[in-house]
Structure formats: C-alpha cells, structure tokens
C-alpha cells in the first residue's frame, strides 16, 4: 500500500509539471520609454546603456535586446519581447529594466538609436569614442 501511494503521488507530481500548450507566444517589440546612454566610451571597450521598456499587459515577457550596426558608427537598438496569444491577461503594465552592450570598433561620434514598433524612433543618443 505504501509503494502504491508513493507511485500515485509521484505520477501526480510529474503531471503537475506539464506545461499548458493551449497558449502560444508570439514575438513582438516592447515599447521603450526610458534610456540612459553614456556620453563617452573607450575604443574597443564595450559600453552599457540602460533601457526600460513596457508591454501593454502582464501577458508580455522580455526575451532579449537586439542591436544592429546600421553604419560604421551607427547602432539600432530594439527590445524584443513576446506576448501570449489567447487567454485572459491581467490588465497592468509589464515593465522591464535591462541593459544593452555595444563594443565600438572605430573612434569618433557613434549614434545609438532606440526604436519601438513600426520602426518608430524613440530616441537617438551620441556617444563619443576615444
């Protein structure tokens, strides 16, 4: 009887770990609403910028930062998230504070542009690299 009870408890425990596959997540851009980029950096040394982004409700989740080098001294930064499709979502803003790291390989003025959905420019910052 003891072994049977243990077996049943083990099966129930494993079944409780099963993920619900009824909802799917779709990648989307989170809305950047605040950034802090250093004014100066050192050549071939990475600098870190702070980014705060939001999602419309608590079904949103942060996935990663995406940085593209659009020209020799220009960078495009986007905050990639995902949102659950289907089901009910708590109606509160989802917020994430994160960082992005860029390593400049050329001296001079670098432009870091932060984009939201629809390729909408949120902000452009200048970093002087010596």
What integer pLDDT is reported at residue 105 of this predicted model? 95
Question: Is the pLDDT at 47 greater than 90, yes or no?
Answer: yes
Rounded CA separation 14/2 (Å): 18
Q: Is the pLDDT of residue 90 over 80?
A: yes
What confidence tier does 30 reach under pLDDT thresholds 50, 70, 90?
very high
- Residue 62 CB contacts under 8 Å (≥ 6 apart), including other chains: 30, 53, 79, 80, 81, 96, 98
Please report, rounded to a whole number, the percentage of residues in the chain having pLDDT higher than 90. 80
**Domains recognised in the chain with CATH numbers:** 22-129 (2.60.40)
């Amino acid at each position: 009887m003891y072994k049977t009870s243990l077996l049943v408890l083990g099966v129930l425990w494993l079944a409780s770990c099963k993920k619900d596959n009824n909802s799917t997540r779709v990648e989307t851009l989170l809305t950047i609403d605040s950034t802090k980029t250093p004014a100066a950096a050192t050549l071939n040394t990475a600098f870190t910028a702070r980014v705060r982004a939001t999602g419309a409700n608590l079904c949103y989740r942060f996935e990663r930062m995406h940085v593209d080098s659009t020209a020799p001294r220009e960078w495009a930064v986007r905050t990639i998230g995902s949102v659950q499709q289907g089901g009910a979502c708590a109606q509160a803003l989802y917020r994430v504070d994160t960082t992005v790291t860029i390593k400049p390989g050329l001296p001079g003025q670098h432009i870091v542009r932060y984009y939201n959905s629809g390729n909408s420019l949120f902000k452009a910052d200048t970093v002087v690299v010596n």
